[in-house]
Amino acid sequence: MIMRTWRGWTRREDADAYADYLMETGHPGYVSTPGNQGVTFTRRDDGDRTEFFLVTLWESWEAVRAFAGDEPGTAVFYPQDDRYLVDRETTVDHFEVFAH
């Protein structure tokens, strides 16, 4: 199993709207991809910004590539992300899960 992680930040006042947007775009994109084994979206306020930390689980590298494309280390973005995000990781981290 492969764990994929990503972080992005919004203005605090945009956090609820971005969370709704993630549930309309990112969440269906993840869970509808064959081989997705789970999605966890988290957030925390930090001063005037809110950090979003997304964790997804995949059954194989092939499943990761089915979601992310030929460059699985590159983050996947949706059309309105620029509207909400004030900072973001443009790459993702992957970890091999050895116990779950």
Tens of pLDDT, residues 52-82: 999 999 999 999 999 999 999 999 999 999 9
Mean pLDDT score, 83-89? 98
Pairing of strands 2-11, 93-96: antiparallel
| Fold topology of 2-86 | Alpha-Beta Plaits (3.30.70)
Percentage of the chain lying above the pLDDT 70 cut: 100
Closest CA to 6 of 96, 100, 94, 97: 94
The three-class DSSP label of residue 23 is helix
The domain locations on the chain are 2-86
DSSP state of 76: P
| Dihedral Cα 55, 59, 65, 71, nearest 10 deg | 60
Both tokens of residue 84?
């909400």
pTM: 0.94
pLDDT at 11: 98
